[in-house]
Structures are given as C-alpha cells and as structure tokens.
Structure 1
C-alpha cells in the first residue's frame, strides 16, 4: 500500500572511519531528525542511524495534522493524571507545534492553517465531546462550541480550535535532513541497530557488525529497540488506516469523530498536476489482532462512498503508533542505560506535536537546558487508573499469545497467490508462515524474534504481524517494525510442503 506522501530526501551518508560521534540518534523520523538537528546546532557531532529509509515508518505515513486539539486526549489525561501533568502535556505540545511552525516558516516548508474539530456524530456521544471541550478550556486552549457545522456527514456537536495546521510530512522531513547536514550531521540509511552497550560511553552494534561509539544514544524508533525498561509491556501497538480520494468536495478543516466508526478527515491542497484530495482515516485496531486488515480499509471506503459519493480512491496506507496507559508519552532516560541512553515512545497517533516536544526534551536534557514541562512529565507517577491500564494491556497480550499459538498449531493450509497463513511445520510444533506475493514464494518460521509470539498474516500490507508487541516482518522475514531487531528464520520451500 502506497502513501500519498513521497520521499524527497537524498542518498545515505557513509559512516565515519573512526565510528565516533558525540550523539547517535536511532530512527530517522520526526523525533529523531529534530533531536539530531537541535544537537547539531549546538556544535555536536551527530549521526542518525536508520534501519530502512528516512521517514519509512510512522512519520512518512501520518496524516500530517499539527494540532493541540487531539480527539479526547485531554479529558483522557485528566482522568488518569493530575491537572499539573495535563497542563505540562499541553505546554509541551504547544512548544512542539510552535517550534515546527517556525521551522516551516524559516525554510519555506508549506503548511495550511485550519480549524481542528473533535465532534460527535450521534447524540449518545455528545457527553464525550463536551468533556473534552471543558478539559481543553480549563487547560488554556481557546476552543469554541459548535452545535452544527457545514459538513456532509452527521455532526450533532463539536469543539473547535482555530489556527491549527496541516502539512505534507515529507516536506518537513526533507527540510530537516537538509538542515541537519548543513550543521554537520549525517544520516545513515539501511543500518539496523541490534544492540547498545550500557557500560561507560555507549557502543552501538549494527546488523552488519559495525560498532559505533558515542557519548549519548537517542532511541527514536516508535517502540524502543532495547527491552531495558520493558516499554513493550507499557504501551499498546495500534495500526490505523488512511485513504486518499479525489473528486470530492473537501470540508475546510481537520475533523475527528468520537463516534463509531471513528474517522479522521482532512484536505490536501492541489497543485498544477493534481486536484485537491480528501484524506479519510481511522478503523484502528491492536496490531495483529483483527481477522482482516483489508476489511478495515473497506470500512473507510464504505463510509466515504456514503457521505462523499463520486469520490475516487487514489492511495491507501496505514501507520503504527503506541498508546501509553495514562495518555502521556514516555520520554527521557532509558532505565538501566547508564544515564546515556534516551527514549521516546507512546505518542498515541499525535506524533507531529509530541514528536517535536520529545526532541526538545531529550536535546535539552543532553545540553543541560531541559524545559520545565519536561521535568513534570518525566517525573509523573503512574496512578491507579494508569496501572490498571498497564495490567489490561498485558492481559490482552496474554490472550493474544494463547490464541495465536492455538491457531498456529492446529492447522496447515494451502496458500493462494498473494496471500499467507501460519502453518504447522513437519514436527507439528513450529509454525511455518508461507506466502506468495508478486509471484515469489517465501516460507519463514512464523515466530516473532522478539519474544516468540506466533505471527499473523496482514492481508492488506502482505506482512507478518506480531499480536503481542507489534513487531512486523516482510514476507521474506525482514524486520519492518520493532521491537524485534532480528529477521525471521527462513524455511526451505519444499515441493511437498
């Protein structure tokens, strides 16, 4: 599935002969590139190490909304944390938004100013939106209430925050890469980190055997690729879907429904070669825990066909993010990292503001200028409601583990062209994943290389997805997303398999 956004970055830089940096940033998305630029501006020798390509994962597949009104996020945080923490979250996102808008203005990155709207499509959901409206007002956001808005879909009330922004995320990424290199930083694509030592100055081991050294390491990989701190057990991996359409009259604004089905709507300006586009997103689920990813896309298609008749699909894609137990991202020093390894995770689909805020926090901590709001967020306790959510996340993992192994060990199936399934190996124990995509047949041991979860076939993206902690693999076993860092074991394709 191809995203509407296309890469605008240049070739990878060579690794330095001495393998030495002041700071190594792992992950070339918005968080990693922003943190790297901030550190490079301070005169430090910075290298960004990316397993795939720049913005290959969430940043390059986001909707590109830069908004302080984020669905029901603020009321969610207030239900699980103190008002001080909720205010710090708003302050962090506001600073992240302002920094990125200044960066766009300074470097001719186009963006559009739009109203952000959280709305209810049915009367039964009005209370949720009103709670968010009051939460936003109490935390200093200048929201207004609207009983009706001129839109073609059901809307019985919404809270509106003016002067938010949207953009093409790849425009931003390209400018960040250019500025990073202008300040002496480097970007190293196709280099997967498989380990980081924790004694003294960190040593970073790559999958090709190279060892890099730095004073600090920043893990900006969505889910941290190191298990220290057990963040894979504290956040829940979710995938959601986005489809681009043309031929529709696009509403002016960025909309997010709290009703079922929850949909996200925004426009994309046209240019000399294309008409304006409509983006419709949503249909989210925990990674690897749905019967059919293609069916999730069909939900969005059906909704759009009903309310935007005549719209023609041009692109469809999905993205992965991680939901924290109290609504607040985890940002700061990695436990058992020797005080030199930093992480950021848990943006809960609001990475455009949170990602920049995380970069500001981490770079500030390394440079000795950590923002006040970062101190509040970093030292927050996990209150009972958040602890209960962690327990629920891990209970879901347990159920998924039991169910996936039962399915994997109970059947062997034939594989139609372009599909895949978990099969039982010859010994009746090891699940074998077989797929045939674009005429190529692959068989792999369908056990996640992170903690051994039995993988499920993603019929929309032709990938093997782990229902435990969200690792994803290509049909041939290559890692697409962590926390796994090692590829799947290949299984020989035999004539009578």
Structure 2
C-alpha cells in the first residue's frame, strides 16, 4: 500500500491563542456527544476536520444517505470557525467586477448563485434542526472612504449577474463614507451555537491524531484505523503537500477582532454588517449588546506587524468613547491568488480525495458552498458549481500574488539556511523577541517581563521556512504557509504537524 501522507511526528502539545473570542465562551456552547475512536471502522466517506466546512459537508452527505464520519485532532469548532466575525454574505469585498473581467459572466453567476444559496441553506438547517443560533437577516455593506467609482462598478456588476445590489452614500456608521454597495437579505449568527447543533446529528471522533493516510483510503490514527471510499480534507490549510502542491498556491493572513460593550446610543445603532473595501480598514457587526469591531490585516509571518489591538482601541475610543473592550481575539485565513476558494478533487491523481480551502476571509458561505459542491461530486460525480472553484484552474488574475508568494517562500528558506546572525541574547529586551546563533544553529528567543528566556527552533517543521516573531500575540509565525507556534514552540495551527522544539533546543536551555 503506497502512502499518500505520513506524519513525521504528531504533536500533542497545543499552543493557545492570545485571547478567546466571544464565540468561544463556554456559556454559549451546547456541545455534541464526544466519541473517541476505539476500533477499526469502515465508512463510505471520512471527513478530516470538524470546523464548519467539515461539519456541513458531513451533514449534507448524511442527509443524502451516505455513511460518513468526521475525524478531528482536537474538538468540534476549535479552529478557525470560533474566530470568525460570522457574517453570512455573498458580498466578498469587491469581487464581482473582478469575476466578470477574468472569469466571464457564466462563472461569475455560478459563484453568486452558490453563495446566495448558502445564505438560504443556513436558515433552512437552523429551522429544520431547531437550532437557536441568533440568526438574523440583515443587509451587508462594502464601503469606501477613498472613492466612488469602484463601488459603483461593483454595484453594477452584482446587478448584472442577478444580485439585487444597491449603490448608496447613506450608512449608519459613525463616520461619513464616500460610497457603499448594499446587499439585502444577508445574515449573521453565532457560528459555534450553529455548529454544535449540526454536530449532534453526526458521528465525530474527537482527539484523534492521524499518523498516516494510504492511497487506498486507509487512515491510520493513534486510536484505530478508518477505511473510507472517499476522503475530504477540511482542515483549513491542507496538510498533504503532494500531490496538489497547495503550499505553492496559498498563503495565510492574520486579522484582529474585538467585542465592545456600552457602545449603544440612540444615534449610533448599526442597521447591518459593514466592511471597508480597503484591506487596512475596519469591519463592523453586532451581536446581542456587543459591537464586534475588527481590523489590523497582515500576512502571517510578517516580521513587522502593526500593533493591531492598539489601532482598534484608538478607533473605538474615537467613535464610541463610552464603550469598553471586553473580548479580543484574532483569526487566520487561507488566501488564494485569485480570491476564489479551492473546492473539488484534491488532484488529478487522487480521484477520491477532496479539498475545501482558501476561503479568503469568507468562511461562512464558502463552507456551505464547499459542502454542497463536494457532496454533489461524491454522490453524483459532478456539481453544477464545480468549475469556478476548480482547484487546478488557471489564475491570470492572481499571477502577481502568486509571484509574490513564491518570492517570499524563497527568501524565507534562504534566510533560514544562511542562519544569519541577528541578536545577542543580552540585547533582547523584556517582553520582546529576537534570534541568535548558537553552535551554528539559529534559535528564536522570547524574553518575558520576569526576564525568563524561551527558545524555539526558527526552522518551521513544515517545509523549512524561517519563523518570524508576532508581537501582537507573542507567537512565532511562518511567512510562507502560516504555521504558528507559541513562545514555548508549541504548535498552534497547521500546516505544520509538530512543535518547533527539538533536542538541541533542550540542551541549549539546560546550559
């Protein structure tokens, strides 16, 4: 049996994010029964990853009579889904004018239809399963502070492919905008309440570490083996490097979010969800008595990220001076060069292996779209929406991004191989980090406020890029593919599958 993927080592230490999202609070959770794999099993489909995309794909397959199990290394909803802003919208920035220009009207209509369908499907599932997930139908706005013409073009593009978009200069934001495009009948909800409600209907094996995947569909875990006719990889970032080579066609980006209390006044109630078309702008939505305010985009592994939380706090004091920040958290998104997710067969050489990734900050409707497309492909061997999301498509519109990503990967790997001298240990200031050379090896060092030092191996265990320090969250992040580690070197997020901590480092710490 040929091996499709094998873990070099499985990490059992899970690093923690700095800050817990409002969705992750225990009082909001209504968890499904937890199962642990104890024996070898057979199934028609195995879904790897119990985030929203994985849960919805399994649910749609099960609704169509397919025997399906979900395998999760942690627990349901422990990944990217809990950190989203949870806007259910087909308005993905200024995407429709770009789709018409580079993909044509037919593909643009497919993209719009499946994302509009996703909004309706959330409401349908919530009602069918009687899930109280605070589902609200609201308009969504993309606004601009800089110009009107691009907003006008987006409204016209959306209307051309059947979305009732409205061009406007009137909003309920706490500042004046140049223009905005409004989509009616979009939605927002509590993503974890929804996911827990759906997860109750499924067979999910949590805390199950995968060791190896064979080409014949055998999944080997520490707890037992799963034999499947088809496998769906729904792990946010795909961990199988070849075939597929997604690490050459994806990067990850960070963004930062807060929840404010005490922001409401008679004259500043928001009528919907808002996002600046400028990537450095702000995102707004409400939940209960909270205002969820986000900003601070940067590429994961950027070696000089701005102080995102300070930026948000400054804006909050300006616009809502009586409000206080009660939650703060961050999210990570997989980005494709052309802004369209990869949904479909993993590669031409693996006809029974499927992928859902690269949601480009729009994980709610993209997860539902992926569930619809992949379930159609498994049951019917094809989907009416698969062409626009085809993972091996040509991407003329994304060529510049692809070249930039390639350059960053080459630069980072070269930097790690050269092991260039960076800092002296004694020069690293409290609550700061740097990198040092020791016996010809490069190490990252964080010095805490009590003058304790923490060492990590700066060579990312995924594909060998050089980890960079993120002062916002006190983490070591990979600029190439987005793996993240806490300052102890413990793995936080994939595609790496093990910690940035080795025996050489242990010897260094002892000395």
- So what's the TM-score if we normalise by structure 2? 0.87
Identify which of 121, 126, 139 aligns with 1:115.
139
In structure 2, distance between residues paired with 1:379 and 1:244: 35
| Deviation string, structure 1 residues 239-287 (Cα, Å, up to 9, x no partner) | 1111111111241210111247411100111xxxxxx111111211110
| Deviation string, structure 1 residues 299-335 (Cα, Å, up to 9, x no partner) | 1221222122221000111111112122211111111
Q: Which residue of 2 aligns with 1:192?
A: 209
Contact 1:422 1:456 in 2 (8 A): no
Q: Which residue of 2 aligns with 1:224?
A: 238
| Greater mean deviation of Cα atoms: 12-21 or 450-459 | 12-21
Identify which of 302, 305, 315 aligns with 2:327.
315
Q: Which residue of 2 aligns with 1:256?
A: 275
Q: Which residue of 2 aligns with 1:49?
A: 71
Q: Which residue of 2 aligns with 1:86?
A: 108
Contact 1:462 1:475 in 2 (8 A): yes
Contact 1:364 1:370 in 2 (8 A): yes
| Greater mean deviation of Cα atoms: 71-80 or 85-94 | 71-80
Sort the Cα spacing of 1:145 and 1:173 in 2 relative to 1 into closer, same or farther, 3 A: same
Structure 1 residue 438: Cα displacement: 10
Q: Does 1:29 align with 2:51?
A: yes
Contact 1:26 1:193 in 2 (8 A): no
Task: Structure 2: state its 5+ residue gaps.
Answer: 1-18
Q: Which residue of 2 aligns with 1:335?
A: 347
Question: SS at the partner of 1:373?
Answer: coil
Question: SS at the partner of 2:106?
Answer: helix
| Greater mean deviation of Cα atoms: 146-155 or 276-285 | 146-155
| Deviation string, structure 1 residues 152-202 (Cα, Å, up to 9, x no partner) | 12312111111210011111111111122xxxxx2222223343222x3x1
Contact 1:442 1:493 in 2 (8 A): no
1:293-308 matches, within 5 Å, as 295-308=307-320
Q: Which residue of 1 aligns with 2:470?
A: 458
| Greater mean deviation of Cα atoms: 40-49 or 405-414 | 405-414
Question: SS at the partner of 1:309?
Answer: coil
Sort the Cα spacing of 1:54 and 1:474 in 2 relative to 1 into closer, same or farther, 3 A: farther
| Deviation string, structure 1 residues 388-436 (Cα, Å, up to 9, x no partner) | 4322221233344445667864224356665544332x21333244565
Contact 1:244 1:278 in 2 (8 A): yes
Q: Which residue of 1 aligns with 2:498?
A: 486
Task: Structure 1: state its 5+ residue gaps.
Answer: 181-185, 270-275
Sort the Cα spacing of 1:231 and 1:427 in 2 relative to 1 into closer, same or farther, 3 A: same
In structure 2, distance between residues paired with 1:373 and 1:336: 18
Identify which of 256, 259, 274 aligns with 1:241.
256
Q: Does 1:326 align with 2:335?
A: no
Contact 2:422 2:435 in 1 (8 A): no
In structure 2, distance between residues paired with 1:27 and 1:408: 38
Structure 1 residue 494: Cα displacement: 5.0
Contact 2:343 2:356 in 1 (8 A): yes
Identify which of 390, 413, 426 aligns with 2:425.
413
1:253-292 matches, within 5 Å, as 253-259=272-278, 261-269=280-288, 276-292=289-305
In structure 2, distance between residues paired with 1:436 and 1:73: 43
1:339-418 matches, within 5 Å, as 339-368=351-380, 370-378=382-390, 381-402=393-414, 409-414=421-426
Sort the Cα spacing of 1:429 and 1:84 in 2 relative to 1 into closer, same or farther, 3 A: same
Q: Which residue of 2 aligns with 1:430?
A: 442
- So what's the TM-score if we normalise by structure 1? 0.89
Structure 1 residue 476: Cα displacement: 3.4
User: Number of residue pairs matched?
Assistant: 479
